[in-house]
């Protein structure tokens, strides 16, 4: 539970938003969540999700019982009001496709403080619904922060609202699937881990990477 008054306010804001998001998704989409028993009940971990849609961060946010922080591309912070809003939900900016060591350092610091961090190992939303190349950054951060990784696959979100659509397709079916938590072992081959996670995203989410 949050300790200070500011933390409590943020926690309550998150939980209230979570409730309303769940309510709206029940009305406008057919959302199911599988594998909730795999979500750690406490502690710090990385949520490593496939990335199909504008809806992905919200789907993770309301389906994970613990508050989750986010890495967001710098362009989202250009609007001061929107930037302030997503910061209040634990987002911090990162320059895409650059060596943003500051953001990586911040990610490690956030995790070491006990937070949960959502990362999209593919880097950007899918352009055609297929799984893109998985980048090694998620494993590097997990190793440096000494935290486990909770893999998540989202099905149907591309059809619901992909990057090529201005508006969502209402009443679409979406499945959020939580896999089995795993750690980056000493001496692990990052290239092999990337391929295993990519294959897992494409396969049955009941099998661990």
Domains and CATH numbers, the chain: 5-202 (3.40.1130.10)
List the pLDDT tens digit at each of the 209 positions of the chain. Answer: 556 565 677 778 888 888 888 888 888 999 999 999 999 999 999 999 999 998 999 999 989 999 999 877 788 888 888 888 888 788 877 776 555 677 788 889 889 999 999 999 998 888 888 899 999 999 999 999 999 999 999 999 999 999 889 899 999 999 999 999 999 999 999 999 999 999 999 985 444 44
- Residue 190, classified by CB atoms within 10 Å of its CB into exposed (0-12), middle (13-18) or buried (19+), is middle
Ramachandran sector of residue 172 (left: φ over 0; alpha: ψ -120 to 50; beta: rest):
beta
Q: Which pTM value belongs to this model?
A: 0.87
């Amino acid at each position: 539970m949050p300790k200070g008054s500011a933390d409590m306010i943020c926690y309550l804001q998150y939980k209230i938003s979570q409730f309303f998001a769940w309510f709206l998704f029940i009305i406008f989409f057919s959302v199911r969540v599988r594998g909730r028993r795999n979500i750690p009940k406490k502690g710090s971990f990385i949520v490593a999700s496939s990335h199909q849609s504008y809806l992905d961060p919200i789907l993770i946010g309301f389906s994970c019982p613990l508050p989750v922080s986010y890495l967001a591309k710098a362009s989202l912070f250009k609007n001061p009001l929107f930037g302030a809003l997503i910061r209040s939900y634990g987002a911090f900016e990162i320059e895409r496709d650059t060596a943003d060591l500051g953001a990586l350092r911040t990610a490690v610091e956030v995790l070491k403080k006990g937070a949960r961090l959502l990362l999209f190992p593919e880097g950007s939303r899918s352009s055609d619904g297929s799984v893109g190349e998985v980048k090694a950054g998620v494993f590097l951060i997990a190793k440096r922060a000494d935290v486990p990784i909770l893999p998540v696959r989202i099905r149907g979100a591309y059809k619901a609202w992909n990057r090529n659509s201005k508006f969502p397709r209402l009443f679409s079916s979406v499945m959020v699937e939580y896999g089995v938590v795993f750690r980056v072992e000493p001496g692990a081959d990052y290239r092999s881990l990337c391929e295993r996670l990519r294959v897992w995203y494409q396969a049955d989410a009941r099998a661990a990477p």
